[in-house]
Amino acid sequence: MDFYQVIKTRRSVRSYKKKEIPQDVLERVLDAARIAPSGSNRQPWKFIVVRDEQRIKKLAQLCHNQSFIAQAPVVIAGCGRNIHYNRGGWMGDYSVIVDVAIAFDHLTLAARAEGLGTCWIGSFDNEEIKKYLGIPEDYNVVALTPLGYPESDKVFCETIDRLPLEEIIFYEAWGKK
Ligand SMILES: Cc1cc2nc3c(=O)[nH]c(=O)nc-3n(C[C@H](O)[C@H](O)[C@H](O)COP(=O)(O)O)c2cc1C
């Protein structure tokens, strides 16, 4: 699939078929996360792939009862370790969130290229999910996503729900069009 077609038609999918994902497809999507860039190539991430139906149901509850998550055959939790290191700059300890977010975005785009839906989940109970999945103290959950074939491929449409370029791009300096 053409790259621009992938990024234009990736949508948040909130309705899934009960159809298994072949292992080779799943591994290609996970590999897209693995090869993402990170600050100083730290790769401070782990990805937990949950396929057990009961565990997925529990995760949906821990995502503030977003029940559509439980329709998907797979849920992935992206976790990041704060290594208290960065090359300066104001982001400091937040850099891990940037790193994991880049990897997770690779994952969601690769999923789209495979005909799979995702929905970035930022609303969840970090501490409870850490307990439930046995995540060590020095890691936090940055994002989760259900992963599965959408109920309808029509969901993969181009969005019109974005600000126009003129409103978000400046040339040379702030405010210069
Ligand atoms: C950081 C972040 C957190 C989000 N959290 C949720 C969430 O908890 N539940 C949900 O249904 N969608 C969530 N979304 C999806 C956004 O609502 C969605 O990306 C946005 O409305 C644009 O729609 P699109 O993804 O179809 O282009 C989140 C997206 C991002 C990037």
Write the pLDDT tens digit of every residue in 41-98. Answer: 999 999 999 999 999 999 999 999 999 999 999 999 999 998 876 666 888 888 999 9
Residue nearest to atom 9 of ligand 1 (CA): 121
Flag whether 84 is in a domain: yes
Q: pLDDT per residue over 24-48, tens digit each? A: 999 999 999 999 999 989 999 999 9
Residue nearest to atom 20 of ligand 1 (CA): 12
Cα→Cα distances 166→7, 150, 171, 177, Å: 20, 33, 10, 7
Which range marks the domain in which residue 94 is found?
13-152
Q: What's 100's domain CATH number?
A: 3.40.109.10
Flag whether 164 is in a domain: no
Q: Are 112 and 122 in contact (CB under 8 A)?
A: no
> How many folded domains does the chain comprise?
1
Flag whether 23 is in a domain: yes
pTM of the model: 0.97
Flag whether 109 is in a domain: yes
Flag whether 111 is in a domain: yes
Tokens read off for 19 = 């159809």
Flag whether 142 is in a domain: yes
Pocket of ligand 1 (CB under 6 A): 11-12, 66, 119-123, 159
Residue nearest to atom 22 of ligand 1 (CA): 12
Flag whether 6 is in a domain: no
- Ligand 1 site-directed mutation target among 120, 144, 156, 162, most atoms within 8 Å of CB: 120
pLDDT of residue 82: 87
